[in-house]
Amino acid sequence: MPAVKKRKVSAEPVAAKSKATAVATRNAPSAKHKAKPSKPAEPTSDDAQSDAEESSPEEAQEAEVEQARKSFRDLGVIEELCNSCEALGFKNPTPIQTESIPLALQGRDLIGLAETGSGKTAAFALPILQDLMERQQKLFGLIMAPTRELAYQISQQFEALGSLIGVKCAVLVGGMDMTPQQIALGKNPHIIVATPGRLLDHLENTKGFSLKQLKYLVMDEADRLLDLDFGPIIDKILKVLPKEGRRTYLFSATMSSKIESLQRASLSNPLRVSISSSSHQTVSTLIQHYLFVPHKHKDLYLIHLLNDMIGHPTIIFTRTVNETQRIAIMLRALGFGAIPLHGQLSQSARLGALGKFKAKSRDILVATDVAARGLDIPSVSYVINYDLPPDSKTYVHRVGRTARAGKSGKALSLVTQYDVEIWLRIETALGKQIPEESVVKEEVMILAERVGEAQRAAIREMKDLHENRGKKGSVLRGRRGGGKRGRDDMDHEEG
């Protein structure tokens, strides 16, 4: 994609200084926002014990050297799958892969706890594919995921890793016609990737569809599955799955009482692999800064930051669907290659947005938290929290979209005078003070006239979108009557 050229702006009178006070007195050094993420680093292990027990920090440090020597062949992965890993650019196993794969190849049930972006999909996909090569059975594995986008991504990774053995996958998600999915099931796929609501629909309504011979069950992003109230549906699904001869893997970013209950209901004598020592941990290759801004000038500061990120894939997180759409329109009016992703888009529009961002035909994705979990988008350089998340858990999930699988990345959070309390709570949960980003206010305020024009254009277009929502050809879906979400909408986070 040709790089979007930075807009030249004419000088405007510098606005009067804001009277807002700083978040807190900081001694931490600040850094200019022009610093770009460093070159990708080779993944290293925080925990390389093979007995799946949680290790101490000292043991983890001792294991780093051993981890660096590991290859997929060392873990017991067969040559064909090692070749697939190499073709996909997987040079060395990540810590969760190093710990999980040997145990899975031994036939054990697993609970995998690791921060987002740690390579969990390959950790369960490779053992399943290796066993599939020996047995060549239809409906061999089932992977349940909380959202439609994650389901498609898991399927794509299975097909990529299993390309040399011709693995076939079927994706069952809500918001899509059931008939093509029934046709896909009739072709006897090896792997099914599904959201729970649509899977139960097929189990109840698709003639001849049964999982009685299933050999592998994976519940990915299990904490999110339960956060979205899929628990009762999962209970129904578990009742129709075979208990004997089935291996089960449960992967999650956090451990909770709900996860413990799900473990007892679905796993048999599992081993726990824990890479993350805290539910609020971020990876060491992630650079985190905040920027204290007056609320009324948030758009100006956002554009100022983006001017130095041109050509670098960036995700901007907002709190609402309306802000996501408005910011994307405003950015396009200013010449940025921006595209929105939120739950009020049609399913085809959401997949199209992800496809354009992954293909780098758009370098800015403006998203609600529908995109904050599980999405595997390679090489995201920056994450910007335009609106702060409601809690530290969501913060960790958002910033985990960058600095994935050993690569470096940077997260910037815009903190207004109304966000101080929540920002301090996030810092407390993370256990550290995040340094403040340094900017020159005069350089920001000079953008006021151009940004103001784009803001007004965005407001006009937003009005048209809302007047036409739900109509044929409209970008926004119509609202369901009564505001209630049906089973088919549960994997649609802002449904």
Q: Kindly list the distances between the CA atom of residue 355 and the CA atoms of 29, 161, 340, 476, in Å, as whole numbers in the listed order.
A: 38, 20, 12, 18
Residue 480 has pLDDT above 70, yes or no: no
Per-residue pLDDT of 97-126, as tens digits, reads 999 999 999 999 999 987 666 789 999 999
Q: What is the token pair recorded at 294?
A: 């007056």
Per-residue pLDDT of 343-352, as tens digits, reads 788 778 888 9
Q: How many CB atoms lie within 10 A of CB 27?
A: 6
CA distance 158 to 167: 8
Indicate the pTM of the whole model: 0.64
Within 334-447, where are the H helices? 347-358, 392-399, 420-430, 441-445
Domain 57-274 superfamily per CATH: P-loop containing nucleotide triphosphate hydrolases (3.40.50.300)
Residue 241: what pLDDT? 97
Q: For strand 338-341 and strand 191-194, is the pairing parallel, antiparallel, or unpaired?
A: unpaired
Per-residue pLDDT of 364-389, as tens digits, reads 999 998 755 667 787 899 999 999 99
Per-residue pLDDT of 208-264, as tens digits, reads 999 999 999 999 988 888 877 888 999 999 999 999 999 999 998 777 777 888 888
Q: How many CB atoms lie within 10 A of CB 91?
A: 12
CA distance 406 to 408: 7
Only one residue has tokens 């890993």, namely 85
Domains 57-274 and 281-475 share a fold: yes
- How far does Cα 120 stand from its chain's mean position? 12
Q: What is the token pair recorded at 323?
A: 């802000």
Fold of 281-475: Rossmann fold (3.40.50)
Per-residue pLDDT of 170-223, as tens digits, reads 999 998 899 999 999 999 999 999 999 999 999 999 999 999 999 999 999 888
Residue 132: what pLDDT? 97
Residue 50: what pLDDT? 33
Residue 444 has pLDDT above 70, yes or no: yes
Q: Kindly list the distances between the CA atom of residue 161 and the CA atoms of 89, 132, 136, 156, in Å, as whole numbers in the listed order.
A: 11, 12, 16, 9
CA distance 91 to 68: 11
CA distance 155 to 160: 9
- Residue-range domain boundaries for the chain: 57-274, 281-475
Q: Which are the contacts of 243, defined by CB distance < 8 A and separation ≥ 6?
A: none
Q: Which are the contacts of 104, defined by CB distance < 8 A and separation ≥ 6?
A: 110, 123, 124, 127, 247, 249
CA distance 98 to 248: 18
Q: Kindly list the distances between the CA atom of residue 89 and the CA atoms of 46, 81, 83, 85, 163, in Å, as whole numbers in the listed order.
A: 21, 12, 10, 6, 15
Q: What is the token pair recorded at 358?
A: 């992954």
Indicate the Cα dihedral angle 117, 120, 123, 124, nearest 10°.
-160
Q: What are phi and psi of 287, to 5 degrees?
A: -90, 125
Q: Which are the contacts of 484, defined by CB distance < 8 A and separation ≥ 6?
A: none
Only one residue has tokens 């339960």, namely 226
Rg value, the chain, Cα: 23
Q: Report whether 102 contacts 73 (CB < 8 A).
A: no
Q: In the predicted model, what is the mean pLDDT of the chain?
A: 82
- Judged by DSSP in three states, 141 sits in strand
